[in-house]
Structure 1
Amino acid sequence: MKGHHHISMLTKNGKKNNHFYQNILGLRRVKKTVNQDDPSMYHLFYGDEVGNPGLDITFFEMPIAGSTKRGTNAITQIGLLVPSYESLQYWKKRFEDLDVKHGDITTYMGQDALFFEDHEDLRMVLLNNNGARIPTTWQPVTSSEVPEEHQIFAMGTIDITVRYLNKTVNLLKDLFGFTVVENEVDFVRLQSVKGERTGEIVVKELEADSEKPGRGSIHHLALRVENQEELEMWNNKLIDYGLHTSGIIDRFYFQSLYVRDRNGILFELATDGPGFTADAAVEELGQKLDLPPFLEGERELIEAKLEPLD
């Protein structure tokens, strides 16, 4: 596993979502498309200048979404990496100016941290990378109001809260090859590449009712694999492990494989390519509604059901 690929959430309102992630967090909307399993809803992708794997934050728009009832057996927090402590200070001031719910600068899992929430109470935390390696593939967003030296450049620590700790930890450790870097009574911290926060997961144990998803809830976490050949290998391994998979699905921008662990956590394994420039030039990313070829014939019907975002 090469680290995090993308993470997907539910939003009630695409316009407000678009404003928060572009105009407040300074990410670029790199793909405006639809949920391929339900084309009546938007699927919005935000990331770096070209949508490189590792930072893609994605949302399914569900206008009927109610509030999230927090609980266990869910992905519960997203860590986002920024370059320095000065970056955290910049973001604290920005959040104050833009009326974003946030706390004071503190620490989390050994990193300087600034906890905050979006307009739908999605829990996130900015983490100080503190001079560690920034992925060479990252491309700063040229249109962002956020200065390059303070921009978010990757996903960091992802929190998963479960009823039975070892059921999720064992999948990550024994099958996916994650390394345990911290092992406490009620949580385990693991990394897909030891020493790299861009593939870090903290699994926490909580005996409670299962989370009821709604706006601001996290649907799944996708992990990076190289290509379809690796996906086929993982599919066989997961089946041998006793889990049911989706089989390999062509998402056009990448190939995917979905699996739920024994706590019900949904993981996706996704290939790095071909990427979002498969059907759009870099300067045009995220501007128009892009559809995979198998949905292109339904464009007129699909567009008629979607509210304009801009």
Structure 2
Amino acid sequence: MQFQGHHHVSMVVKNAKATDDFYRRVLGLRRVKKTVNQDSPSMYHLFYGDTTGTPGTELTFFEIPMVGRTHKGTDAITKIALVVPNVDALAYWQQRFEQFNVRHDAQTTYADKPALPFYDPDGLALVLVADEAFTPPSAWSYWAKSPVPQHVGIQGFVTTELTVADVAEMERILTELFSYTVIARDDNSMRVRGAGGLESELFVVKQDGAIERPGRGSIHHIALRVADESELRAWHDKIVQYGLVSSGIVDRYYFKSLYVKLVGHIIFELATDGPGFLRDGNIETLGQALDLPAFLEPHRADIEADLHPIDEEENDDEPK
């Protein structure tokens, strides 16, 4: 069993409205699902991605208004790379970041690719990487109403960084348990891939010191693609046999998952591709209304009363 690619990556934010503005209006992603944290329905869970939120394009956010700052450290998921078509796109994005007062660093190289590091409103570390050789998976579909032209637009998220105190230990887990292959290494880092290409890449970087204390702008977990529930059950058995603790299968309505904590605050979620976000919506209005899984629908009135509006007007679908 090998992972074909990433499924989604989930972050903690302080203000859902600021997050929504940034990822839709600045980065040009589509909000594909406005829902709530199923374990704590008083908080938003927002999903952004391509036209339908295809696995591999999804960035998701939990809003916790009272959350404190992140105390940076090791044994955490610390950076997300978003792929753009070419180096010219990096110049476009540098100008766009300056236009929207987005904090960013100078162009550099990241994971052997031309790159432009930047930060979202909560201080989450992101980086645009340019790769002309990268062919997006056929299922990925650029959102036609994005304010960013497709020829320079974000195609999906790719290399995801794990910062660890013990690279050798992480290599053992990733190669022995999860069947990743090491494709590059130096004294302080390595890159591994699953069965896919750049869309299945993890960048493991050594950093000594205290374990990160998560807060606003921290990455809660990365989810990896699993074909179906049968494969998910097989992963559960393999994880337990390896000596780690699996959450068991959890029904997340739009997909089924299991969770496993590796070290520190590095949590992997394994998530099925389906049924997907069109289960309770249609492609034209996806992400506009508050969608709730069936078991929460009877509590809609109470849930909506606990949430503050994030849209300027109802059905605010297109970025202005």
Give TM-score, length-normalised by structure 1.
0.98
Partner residue of 1:265? 266
Amino acid at match of 2:20: N
Partner residue of 1:123? 125
Partner residue of 2:315? none
Deviation at 1:209, TM superposition (A): 0.8
Q: Distance in 1 between matches of 2:58 and 2:78?
A: 17
Deviation at 1:254, TM superposition (A): 0.4
Partner residue of 1:180? 182
Partner residue of 1:203? 204
Superposed counterparts of 1:254-293, under 5 Å: 254-293=255-294
1:86 and 2:88 correspond: yes
Partner residue of 2:115? 113
Quote the RMSD (CA, aligned, Å). 1.0
Partner residue of 1:7? 9
1:53 and 2:55 correspond: yes
Deviation at 1:132, TM superposition (A): 2.1
Q: Distance in 2 between matches of 1:76 and 1:131?
A: 25
Superposed counterparts of 1:8-47, under 5 Å: 8-47=10-49
Instruction: Give unpaired runs (5+ residues) of structure 1.
Output: none
Instruction: Pick the aligned partner of 1:104 from 103, 106, 111.
Output: 106
Deviation at 1:263, TM superposition (A): 4.0
Deviation at 1:262, TM superposition (A): 3.6
**Per-residue deviation, residues 268-288 of structure 1 (Å, max 9, x unmatched):** 000100100000001111111
Partner residue of 1:167? 169
Partner residue of 1:234? 235
Instruction: Give unpaired runs (5+ residues) of structure 2.
Output: 312-320
Q: Distance in 1 between matches of 2:60 and 2:26?
A: 16
| More deviation, 175-184/236-245 | 175-184
Q: Distance in 2 between matches of 1:263 and 1:117?
A: 23
Instruction: Work out whether residues 167 and 261 of structure 1, in 8 Å CA contact, stay in contact via their aligned partners in 2.
Output: no
Q: Distance in 1 between matches of 2:70 and 2:137?
A: 33
Q: Distance in 2 between matches of 1:125 and 1:199?
A: 16
Deviation at 1:73, TM superposition (A): 1.1
SS in 1 for 2:211: coil
Amino acid at match of 1:160: L
Q: Distance in 1 between matches of 2:284 and 2:150?
A: 18
Deviation at 1:160, TM superposition (A): 0.6
Instruction: Work out whether residues 164 and 263 of structure 1, in 8 Å CA contact, stay in contact via their aligned partners in 2.
Output: no
Q: Distance in 2 between matches of 1:236 and 1:128?
A: 38
Q: Distance in 2 between matches of 1:132 and 1:250?
A: 33
**Per-residue deviation, residues 214-272 of structure 1 (Å, max 9, x unmatched):** 11000000000100000000000000000111100010100001000144411000010
Percentage identity across paired residues of the two chains: 48
**Per-residue deviation, residues 156-185 of structure 1 (Å, max 9, x unmatched):** 111111122222222211111111011222
SS in 1 for 2:304: helix
Partner residue of 2:244? 243
Q: Distance in 2 between matches of 1:84 and 1:150?
A: 8
Amino acid at match of 2:297: E
Instruction: Work out whether residues 12 and 64 of structure 2, in 8 Å CA contact, stay in contact via their aligned partners in 1.
Output: yes
Amino acid at match of 1:38: S
SS in 2 for 1:212: coil
**Per-residue deviation, residues 54-112 of structure 1 (Å, max 9, x unmatched):** 01000000000111110011100000011111111111111111111112222111111
Q: Distance in 2 between matches of 1:188 and 1:86?
A: 28
Give TM-score, length-normalised by structure 2.
0.95
